[in-house]
Each structure stands twice: as C-alpha cells, then as structure tokens.
Amino acid sequence: MTTGIKVSICLPTYQRPELIAQCLDSCLSQTHTNIEVLIGDDSKDDRTRALIASQYAADPRVRYFRNTPSLGQARNVDSLFTHATGDKILLIHDDDFLAENAVERMLSAWRAHPQVQVAFGDQYVTDSRGTVLPAASAHLNRAYHRTRDVAGLQQQPGRTGLVQMFPNNGWMGDADLVKRIGYREQNGVACDYVFGTEICLAAKGVYYLNEYVSYNRRTEVSITTSTRTSTSASTLVAYNFLMALTLPPQLEPARRIALRRMVPIVVSIHARNHAPLESLKIALSHLSAYNYGFSRRLYFHLLIMAKALLTQRKSAF
C-alpha cells in the first residue's frame, strides 16, 4: 500500500502568476492525497504572493516561500528539496502541470519494484494555452527514448540520465536521494540535465512508466529559449559536463548517444559566437554526430565557420 507515503511536490516559480494556478490546481487534485505542495517564489513583484494568499492560503497542504532576494533556478529548486518533509519528492515547474493520477501512477513503480529510487513517465506537449499537441507529444517522447519497448525497470539506470530519457520535471524520487544529489548553481541553465544524469547514475533502480503523467507547456519566455544561442546555453554547459564525466566502460555508448544530440548544437553556438576554430575542432572530434560526413548539417556548419573566420580576418585589418 502507498497511501501512507507522503509526497512533497516542489514547485519553483518566477513571474508567471497567470500559469501557476493551473499547475497548483493539478497538484492539489491528485488522486493520491497524502501530499504537500511547496512553492518557491523567485518573482520580482507580489502578483504570485497575492494569488497564493487569496486562493490557496486555507489549504494546509500548501507551503509558500517568498525568496528575497531571488535565489535563481538551481538554488530555488534545491531550497524546496531542503524544505520537503515527504518520503518522496516530485518536481514540477510553474508553466507545466500534472495529470490527476500522476503521483499514484508513479508510486506504483515502488509497489512493483521496491528497489526503485526514481520513477518518471511520458510528457504531453501543449501550446501556450495548455491544449495538448498529439503529434508533438509523440515526437518528444520518441526523441528522448521513451518508447513502449523500454518501459519498466531500466537495465542501466545511468544510461537513462545520460541520453536525456529522464525528464526535466514531472519525475518522482526517494527524498533522501533527491536531497543528496541536489541542484547546484554552478551548473547554470544545465542544472536539470546535470541533476537528471547524476541521480540516475546514483540510483539503485530507475523505472520508466510508459504513460503520460505530466504536461510540458511551450512558452516563448524561458531561460533555455532566451540563452540557447549564447555561450551560456544549456546544451553547451551540458556538453562540457558530459565530456568531463568519468563513466564505467558499459556506459560509454550512452555518452556517444548523448553527444550525437549535443555536438551539432555546440558547434553552431561556437561558430555563431566568434569561435570558429573551436567549433571546427569539436565537429572533427565527433564526426559520428554528423553521420561521418553524410549529414548536410555538417556542411551548413562548415559554412557558418567559414563566414566567422572571414569576419574575424576583416576586423583584424
């Protein structure tokens, strides 16, 4: 039985009172009722605080924390982990929301396999209004290796994090493990990927539920979107982390799978930020990411590098 298991739902938020209500309502309407919802508010204004005070203050399951000054993404999340009093921790961001049976369904992994320490499921993709996009949802989960044939207890838990099968939110984990791994500020906007990789590497058991348990909303305003072409882009930080990571031999194939996704993005970022030689070095070091020269993307990136070199030479005269 899992009814006695308390789940702490951690909900970091920043300047999105128009979205957090749907997220919070999805948490409070869970079919598994032994929950607490911890809100970490990094907002610059009082709109979110006022919303929580007017609509949710009477619910004893809601615990609200106003961060003054703002903590930033990683420290905000980690602070919520610290405040959590549940047996399990679930993370959901303010612009996303949960299926009404998400907690119950993920807890079923522990009933079937007591050695499980982390569980997650599929994610719906929605538009900015929260309307599900079926084709985009199917594509997202396929792209991140979430398919029916690999459902259940993962044979290589560490691989799950490396190849980004593990989602950035909507997952559940043993509270003690989640708190031990934590979010770290030095990982910047890649803190989600680093955390997901490290918790899967550390977990004794990782379970993938081939059912939709959360909704991932597409919005124009996000940290990842606003930094994706800069040298602080999450993919670049994740690439540097992955390259420095010491792995056992059996997980090297998973590293190569992850690099196939990351390398073309990293190459493009360097070329567009006036580092064409670094861009070329990375591309030539990871030709498998370009299907060993049979990808048109490689030649497009070589063109970008050439233009960047010409621009550098012109500016030097």
Model pLDDT for residues 33-49, shown as the tens digit of each residue: 999 999 999 999 999 99
Q: Which of 49, 11, 6, 1 is nearest to 214 (CA)?
A: 11
Residue with the larger pLDDT of the pair 122 and 294: 122
Residue 211 and residue 269 in one domain: no
Residue 210 and residue 263 in one domain: no
- Tokens for 47? 């709109």
Domain range for 183: 7-225
Burial class of 241 by CB neighbour count within 10 A (0 to 12, 13 to 18, 19+): middle
pTM of the model: 0.92
289 in a structural domain: yes
1 in a structural domain: no
183 in a structural domain: yes
User: What is the CATH number for 199?
Assistant: 3.90.550.10
Residue 46 CB contacts under 8 Å (≥ 6 apart), including other chains: none
- How many domains is the chain partitioned into structurally? 2
Distance CA 149, CA 221 (A): 35
- Tokens for 167? 């989602």
Asked if 34 and 3 count as a contact pair (C-beta separation under 8 A), the reply is yes
Give the per-residue pLDDT at 219.
83
18 in a structural domain: yes
Average pLDDT over residues 121-132: 96
Residue 189 and residue 284 in one domain: no
Residue 21 and residue 85 in one domain: yes
Residue 67's region, left for phi above 0, alpha for psi from -120 to 50, else beta, is beta
Q: Which of 98, 74, 95 is nearest to 9 (CA)?
A: 98
Residue 64 and residue 186 in one domain: yes
Q: Residue 314 pLDDT more than 90? A: no
For 203-260, what is each residue's pLDDT tens digit? 999 999 999 999 999 987 654 444 455 666 899 999 999 999 999 999 999 999 999 9
Residue 237 and residue 114 in one domain: no
The CA radius of gyration of the chain, in Å to the nearest whole number, is 21
Domain final residue, candidates 172, 205, 225: 225
Distance CA 271, CA 301 (A): 8
Residue 219 and residue 254 in one domain: no
Residue 253 and residue 135 in one domain: no
Please give the C-alpha separations between residue 261 and each of 2, 128, 223, in angstroms, as whole numbers: 38, 26, 20
Compute φ and ψ for 210, nearest 5 degrees.
-80, 55
Residue 77 and residue 168 in one domain: yes
Residue 219 and residue 262 in one domain: no
- Tokens for 245? 């990571």
Q: Which amino acid is at 55?
A: Q
Give the per-residue pLDDT at 223.
47
Residue 160 and residue 294 in one domain: no
